[in-house]
Chain A
Amino acid sequence: MAKSQSDFHFIGKPQRKIEGLEKSSGRALYADDIRLPGMLHGKILRSPYPHARIVSIDTSAAEALEGVHGVVTGRDMPTTYGIIPWTPDEYPLALDRVRYVGDGVAAVAAVDEDTAIRALDLIRVEYEELPAFPDPVSALRADGSTPYVHDAEKEGRNGNVTKHVHMEFGDVDGLMETSEVVVEGEYFFEGTTHTPIEPHCAIGLWQPDGSRRDGLGEPTRDERGDGTGADSGPRTGSGKLTVWSATQVPHYLHRELARVLDVDPARVRVIQPLVGGAFGGKSEPFDLEFCVAKLAMKTGRPVKILYTREEVFYAHRGRHPFHMRYRTGCDTGGRLKSVDAEIVLDGGAYASFGLVTTYYSGQLLCAPYAMPAYRFDSTRVYTNKPACGPKRGHGSVQPRFAFEVQMDKLAERVGLDPVDMRRINFIGENTRTVNELRITSNGFLECLDAVERASGWRDKFRKLPFGRGVGVAGSTYISGTNYPIYPNRMPQSAVQMQIDRSGRVAVFSGASEIGQGCDSVVAYVAAEELGVPLEHVRVYRGDTDFTPVDLGAYSSRVTFMLGNAAIQAARKLRQMVQQAVAEEWDVKPGEVLLAGGRAMWAPDTERQMSTREAFNLAEAKFGTLGARGWYDTPKDVHGDYRGGTIGASPAYSFTAHVAEVEVDVETGFVDVKKIWVAHDCGRALNPVLVEGQMEGSAYMGFAEALMEEQVFKDTDHGRAGLHDGPSLLDYRIPTSMDTPELESLIIESIDPEGPYGAKEAGEGPLHPSIPAIANAIYDAVGVRMDRLPFSPPAVWREIQAARGAGTLRKPPC
């Protein structure tokens, strides 16, 4: 039986975040706030060419410059890496070929940044420029007469193809043929980037004499670099490498640092300070992390590199541009029969998570609607631009846009209200999708009801005056991936918890706090289960030396997995405390309640003691108190076919949005008045945090819908492959004056396997913003926006065309 809200003391109630005041007081430490004694500053030299062979690199003048302590090039780290173990295609610094404007070529460590910058100017690199592939069309057309972005694995293959996935479920062609209504559309989703306000930053520290006397990252006096370790290089068998980084994936960084730099993983430590936003943009290793490590090893001094905002745009790993073609068929009643998709993903210069992205582009579409037949054919292509990767809603935001617009078109064709169209196709709870993913809890219908009611949909749809409109869209997203990125059978998430006679609880958590509040979630769990006030819980985090492994903050996995791990650990401790108290009182352990800082006897709550006294009894009885909790996913939740595990999740979240817009037909400006966001997060462990995730997601979707585009110059405009404007002035993200009113409507389906029933809230609620706005624009002025972004010039052009064709009007009811 699911617990009802009133059974909880912390869970489900608004709570402070444990680091909230630290952040609002300015005391919180982020990577660039850390300064180590003797620290050097690094800078990375980057390629000015989109595609070129490196003929030679001469670093001698840079090395000779006063104040320069070390220079590294690709030759110093000639090992490939990649977040996906099957596609390691990057070097920390380019070895013999550069593949995009901004690719790292050499790095310098100097006494200060000014000197490092001067040193970069002294490095002579001779390039031989190669023809570049600026877009997927040219990349796919390549015949090998000029070098591919990456050499083909096999003779005769096109090296520009990262991955091709073709999957078919059910009788797609047959059911398409018998569909009474078929809608076909072409869609384009422009690339966008994460744009966390904090630029990436990393610090490397090499302690040649090993790791025996470590405090919490504070180097002791004689470890201060004084230059004596210069050029000693890594000494096998001794020495310890510590890297602080604004990363979302300390564990993967740990692995890759060890592998690429050839240091025993037992002598590598990764510390993750607070991270100033990430959204998927810091979820794999980057050149700066390898460079600070290598430069620290080489110079014997700590080295920091802080990206400039421009470098953040080059590091990218943002949303792939998707070229999509969809055919969707349904019967006269609006029931979906067949879905057929063809997708080309513009991947940029490296694979990144691309293999997964290619699967996700198809695999995550099969809910919340039942579809009897589904096929997708997705090809990810290398191009000479910064690599694309995972951005909030990885791989599924783009197809969701296309698909939900298709749904809107179908609804109109069959004469159904688009909310009803979505209702009748609801896939249900405890079921399997056409691609055999297991669905458990599912609050999608409640989401639809909530946005329909709150937005006044029935009075608005097709009824607002010309120029104003509403649109609806739905979506689903994973709560973590069933399988880790590298195959292994160890837990995906874990915590260790300690209590002691002082009454405090210490939690050691490897999870990555990137602003979403996961450190707080473990604290709420500990407080809930052990009955202590939140102030008595300490969360130690983000340091691979003393926290158990968690795989990182991606795929919306953290709350679900970490929450379950924390509950497990806390309950073990609770049982010990209950048992000790029960013995003291001579009652049954199950009758001992822990809440509000007290241990109480359930039948007579007058009988009580403080949790501190209770912990004392437990410590006396069991000795020093500690417990471990971990989580691994169920393994029977997907289909048994190649690729069937990708997209499998222990639970799925569901979302519906209604957007209301006003379109200025003279200018093309779309004013999004309001977005109503209903999201089934399972259970809201802290509604304030859940709403924050919902609003932040809806905002980010809105931003992609209306203004964001990571685009590049072409040969007619300067240099092909050169970023259009790598700054926060030219890459526009919405200000407070642009962002619509956002209303969060939390739906709780209480997932049977989630921690207290919780699922995810950090990524799902982004998806429907975009198609809901597109559908609202159609409701407002009868113009379909099938290409992103709906920037004023783009909307204006469509409006002009519609005016010419006589279709600029309120669509018929």
Chain B
Amino acid sequence: MPPATEIVTLMVNGDRREVGVPGHYTLLEALRYGLGLTGSKQGCDKGDCGACTVLMDGEPTLSCITPIREADGRRIVTVEGLGTARGPHPLQDEFDLHGAAQCGFCTPGILCSAAALLARSTNPSREEIREALSGNLCRCTGYTKIYEAVEAAAARMRDNG
């Protein structure tokens, strides 16, 4: 990491974290290399692939093109923060059950996009799921298993109220 010039406060996965970073770091770099939260991935580093998607104030955001100061004071949820101590988020479990993560590299970003969708609606149509994930490239699955996993997680969330 180049010399830190700024101290930024992030509300990451429920924790208030202060992190000293170079001012020209992106949110992705701060998470991965500043805080050791390596769950969020980098596939293009310029907004084209969605691998770095995190939730910023609840909205799916590309952390690779978010200047770190823009995230200062905001609520960030990464893949590491989707589950709870009691267990994984239904999406995470269903991704496993449906084989929706092959190499798993797109998975953290896709889970964040899907989590935001399910926070809005626990009964999304296949079309709405496709639309919600349209900024996340997956090279392994052909997306089919991903849709099935999101649908199963939605059903589980409906059942659990």
Contacts and interface: CB of A to CB of B under 8 A. Distances in A.
Interface of A: 14, 16-17, 19-21, 23-30, 32-33, 35, 112-115, 194-199, 274-279, 308-309, 514-517, 688-689, 691-692, 695-700, 727-729, 733, 735-737, 739, 741-742
Given A25-B80, A196-B105, A20 B96 contact: yes
Contacts of A516: 102
Contacts of B146: 736
B76 interface: no
Contact of B92 (A21, A689, A691): A21
Interface string B129-161: 111011111111111111000000000000000
B103 A514 contact: yes
A29 B131 CA distance: 29
Interface of B: 1-2, 22, 32-33, 36-46, 48-49, 51, 78-80, 82-83, 88, 91-93, 95-108, 111, 129-131, 133-146
Q: When A and B form their complex, which 8 residue pairs have the shortest distance between CB atoms, in order from nearest? A: A26-B39, A276-B105, A515-B103, A699-B142, A23-B104, A20-B96, A26-B79, A33-B38
Nearest to A702: B142
B51 A692 contact: no
Contacts of A514: 103
B136 A736 contact: yes
B41 A198 contact: yes
Contacts of A733: 137, 139
Given A516-B102, A728-B44, A695 B145 contact: yes
Nearest to A67: B2
15 contacts: A17-B99, A23-B104, A24-B111, A25-B92, A26-B39, A30-B38, A35-B36, A114-B22, A198-B41, A516-B102, A696-B141, A696-B142, A727-B48, A733-B137, A736-B146
Contacts of B38: 26, 29-30, 32-33
A20 B45 contact: no
B41 to A, nearest CB: 7
Given A16-B97, A309-B43, 6 more contacts: A27-B80, A32-B38, A276-B103, A699-B142, A733-B139, A737-B131
B47 to A, nearest CB: 8
A26 B2 contact: no
A742 B144 contact: yes
A338 B127 CA distance: 48
B105 A21 contact: no
B79 A25 contact: yes
Contacts of B137: 197, 728, 733, 735
A728 B103 contact: no
Contacts of B138: 197, 736
B57 to A, nearest CB: 20
A116 B91 CA distance: 40
A21 B91 CA distance: 11
Nearest to A114: B2
A24 B95 contact: yes
Find the residue from A19, A199, A691, A696 having the highest chain B CB count within 10 A: A696
A27 B41 CA distance: 12
A594 B37 CA distance: 42
Contacts of B141: 692, 695-696, 699
A25 B79 CA distance: 6
Contact of A728 (B49, B83, B88): B49
B98 A197 contact: no
A25 B137 CA distance: 18
A25 B136 CA distance: 17
Contact of B96 (A17, A697, A737): A17
A196 B101 contact: no
Contacts of A737: 130-131, 134
Contacts of A735: 134-135, 137
A198 B103 contact: yes
Nearest to B40: A26
A500 B51 CA distance: 41
A515 B104 contact: yes
A178 to B, nearest CB: 44
A113 B25 CA distance: 12
